[in-house]
Amino acid sequence: MGFKRSVCGKFLLAYVFITTGMAVNVLQLMTSPLGWLGLRHQKREIVAKLTYLHWILIPAIAQWWSDIEVSVTSHPDDAAKFGKENAIVLLNHKCQLDWVITWVVANCFGVMQQIKAVAKKSLMYIPIVGWAFWFNDFVLIRRNLEADRPIFKKSFELFSSITSKFWLLTFLEGTRFTTEKHRLGVKYALENGLEPLKHHLVPRTKGFALMTQGLRDTVPAVYDATLCFRDQQNPTLVDYVSGGSYHADIIIRRIPMECIPADELACSEFVHNVFKEKDDFVEFHQKNNAFPINTTILEGYVTKKLHKSRIAFYVGLAWSFLQIVPLLYFILLGLFTGTWLQIIFTVTIIATIFVTMNLILDSGTAKSSYGADSAKTK
């Protein structure tokens, strides 16, 4: 644990993740001519495989470096369909590791390379991570529904042509939970005749209605996913790269698309009811470190702990060898030869890695104008 939390340990971890991401981004960029030649399907398949080679490091770090355990609660009949059908995944947004745990679960069910998500367009400018979002056809929006409608429409057309199974992730709260944002959410709920939520922000329902309308023929189900960490822990990305040990529980309920109202107002009511149930799940979990299985609403549900991914371990080990050995070579060569060029090159690499790592970690900090534009986006 001491090495993991040391500057050297964090640097080497960041170095492998960032240099691998840069290499994959370059290879993905090189697939662009395939799109110009009309081979868009082939281009997407290659990009997805390249994405897997980088994103597999996320569960590798979580499960083998940080020793994060993940348990999934679901109905066996639903679990049998995970990874075998397209799905909109409706997530809560409680902490910085929501994304990480989702990647671990998606890797378990074989869809990590085909994860899509609705995300802020500004994320596209984050080195490595944002570029990967762009290459993988994430729905990058401005959070202005009228301006975003053409973006959604274009994405829906694209998703309808994808032959591999994908998960489209969406955080309807729009931003991560904080005490101040929750206060604003409660105020908005009371002013608009809604029941205030205790553990979530008021969901933005219009975008979800747009998604379910536009993807009704492409996506057979919505997965309502609620994530909690045991002992009410709230780990950060810094904890993640520092090797912190945590246990995440996620409950996934499969809701057939035909059960989602097509009418916008009815769909809005449906979403608010789902979030009330999410609130109850979180409340129960905080008191019991588990979800309320074998109750009326969760009859027949079971909880299973995911196995550590051996493929993630071996791929992570291979990338570490390929990236760290050349770095050590240049550092040792610089120490023994002492040329200014080699010293400057080594210092530049180290500085670039630290700057990029801080940009990525800073992107996990909750930043939003939540509450200022509620009337326009809810």
Is it the case that residue 376 has pLDDT exceeding 50? no
pLDDT band (50, 70, 90) for residue 1: low
State the average pLDDT for the chain: 89
Residue 146's φ and ψ, nearest 5 degrees, are: -65, -40
Among 131-145, 218-232, 341-355, the range of highest mean pLDDT: 218-232
Q: Looking at the domain assignment, is residue 328 inside a domain?
A: no
In this prediction, residues 146-170 reach a mean pLDDT of 92
pLDDT band (50, 70, 90) for residue 231: very high
Q: Looking at the domain assignment, is residue 27 inside a domain?
A: yes
Sign of CA dihedral 323, 328, 331, 332: negative
Do 111 and 165 form a contact (C-beta atoms < 8 A)? yes
Question: What is the amino acid identity at position 6?
Answer: S
- pTM of the entire predicted model: 0.89
Q: Looking at the domain assignment, is residue 263 inside a domain?
A: yes
Q: What is the pLDDT of residue 374?
A: 44
Task: Specify the number of domains making up the chain.
Answer: 1
In this prediction, residues 167-175 reach a mean pLDDT of 91
Residue range 283-330, pLDDT digits in tens: 999 999 999 998 888 999 999 999 999 999 999 999 999 988 887 777
Q: What is the pLDDT of residue 47?
A: 94
Q: Looking at the domain assignment, is residue 319 inside a domain?
A: no
Q: Looking at the domain assignment, is residue 46 inside a domain?
A: yes
Could you tell me where the DSSP H helices lie in 202-250? 206-214, 237-241
In this prediction, residues 183-189 reach a mean pLDDT of 91
Q: Looking at the domain assignment, is residue 331 inside a domain?
A: no
Residues 6+ apart with CB under 8 A from 328: none
Q: What is the pLDDT of residue 94?
A: 83
Residues 6+ apart with CB under 8 A from 225: 89, 90, 91, 92, 102, 250, 251, 252, 253
Q: What is the pLDDT of residue 373?
A: 47
Is it the case that residue 33 has pLDDT exceeding 90? yes
What is the 8-class DSSP label of residue 292? -
In this prediction, residues 154-165 reach a mean pLDDT of 92
pLDDT band (50, 70, 90) for residue 137: very high
Is it the case that residue 36 has pLDDT exceeding 80? yes
Is it the case that residue 364 has pLDDT exceeding 70? no
Q: Structural domain of residue 292, as residue ranges?
A: 2-314+356-377
Residue range 17-28, pLDDT digits in tens: 999 999 999 999
CATH code for the domain of 283: 3.40.1130
Q: What is the pLDDT of residue 320?
A: 93
In this prediction, residues 114-118 reach a mean pLDDT of 94
Residues 6+ apart with CB under 8 A from 191: none
- Cα separation values, 1 from 94, 242, 318, 353, Å: 26, 8, 22, 22
**Would you call 261 exposed, middle or buried from its count of C-beta atoms within 10 A (0-12, 13-18, 19+)?**
middle
Residue range 324-345, pLDDT digits in tens: 888 777 777 666 666 666 667 7
Q: What is the pLDDT of residue 120?
A: 87
Q: Looking at the domain assignment, is residue 350 inside a domain?
A: no
Q: Looking at the domain assignment, is residue 139 inside a domain?
A: yes
Share of the chain above pLDDT 90, in %: 64
